[in-house]
Amino acid sequence: MRPIVKFLARLSGWLERHWLATLVAILLTYGLLPFAAPVLKWLGLDGAAQLIYQPYKLTCHTYGFRSFFLFGERFVYDRETFEQLSGISASGSQYALGLLRARDFQGNPRMGYKVALCQRDIAIYVSMGLGGIAYSLARRRARPMPFWLFVALGVLPIGLDGFSQLLSQPPFGLLPYRESNWILRLITGGLFGFSVAWLIFPLLDGAAQPVQRPAQPMARRSL
């Protein structure tokens, strides 16, 4: 057990010193790895592509009309164009089934092949990683983002864009129908991710600092 304990102690010490770089690497890998899926699909390596596509389906809706495409006619397809070219319709009684098919759709030679993570999620995780890099450059002077600014800059834009879209579509239909676009998804996702980074990373940095114990006065030696 001693070698395992030593290894864990060294790993813990390394993570304590390099936690920010580790988190940034994880965030950027998670946000950019989905672009490898369409490349593998285009190269004919479908089995390898599924190793990326399938796990990301557990964390993201991956609808084709809210994702990027590579090696096709367009980089993005709005909902109407996606339904026309893919033959997948999500309306009326076919709404739920259409969403499932749009989620499973990975592309074709004409449309190209889908990136394995939706546009908004890519913006969130990549901007968090870039925010971590920016924080590392200003680490000594940086302070956590004020919570009111985090709400105003990070939460409200993504909340308005996302919930107004959600509540306008089945099964809710509480607002006039709207579908966001890729530019709004990137902007609101990027603002949210960067705001989270500038709120959380300074707090984590403070928690990672070693606790300075006050010096204990030396007891007088008895005569």
pLDDT one-digit tens code per residue, 9-55: 777 777 677 889 999 999 999 999 999 999 999 999 999 999 999 99
Q: In angstroms, how far is CA 13 from the centroid of its own chain?
A: 27
User: Domain for residue 80, yes or no?
Assistant: yes
Please list the residues that pair with 107 across neighbouring strands: 113
User: Domain for residue 8, yes or no?
Assistant: no
Cβ burial 53-70 (10 Å sphere, 16+ → b, else e): beebeeebebbbbbbbbb
Cβ neighbour number for residue 170 with a 10 Å cutoff:
12
User: Domain for residue 211, yes or no?
Assistant: no
| pLDDT tier for residue 213 given thresholds of 50, 70 and 90 | very low
Q: For all residues of the chain together, what is the average pLDDT?
A: 89
> pLDDT at position 8, please?
73
pLDDT above 90 covers a percentage of the chain that reads 73
**What residue numbers bound the domain in which 124 lies?**
18-206
Structure tokens that stand for 35 in this block: 């672009």
Backbone dihedral angles phi then psi of residue 173, each to the nearest 5 degrees: 65, 30
User: Domain for residue 201, yes or no?
Assistant: yes
Identify whether the C-beta of residue 16 lies closer than 8 Å to the C-beta of residue 208: yes
> pLDDT at position 217, please?
52
Identify whether the C-beta of residue 40 lies closer than 8 Å to the C-beta of residue 52: yes
User: Domain for residue 192, yes or no?
Assistant: yes
User: Domain for residue 28, yes or no?
Assistant: yes
Following CA atoms 73, 178, 182, 53 in sequence, which dihedral angle do they give, to the nearest 10 degrees?
-80
What is d(CA 198, CA 153) in angstroms, rounded to the nearest whole number? 11
Q: Hey, is 70 helix, strand or coil?
A: strand
What is d(CA 211, CA 103) in angstroms, rounded to the nearest whole number? 48
Cα–Cα nearest to 132, from 20, 4, 16, 11: 20
User: Domain for residue 107, yes or no?
Assistant: yes
pLDDT digits (tens, 9 = 90+) for 158-209: 999 999 999 999 888 899 999 999 999 999 999 999 999 999 999 988 776 6
What is d(CA 220, CA 223) in angstroms, rounded to the nearest whole number? 9
User: Domain for residue 39, yes or no?
Assistant: yes
Per DSSP bridges, beta strands 112-118 and 67-70 are antiparallel
> pLDDT at position 96, please?
87
| pLDDT tier for residue 95 given thresholds of 50, 70 and 90 | confident
Considering its fold, how many domains does the chain have in total? 1
What is d(CA 10, CA 169) in angstroms, rounded to the nearest whole number? 52
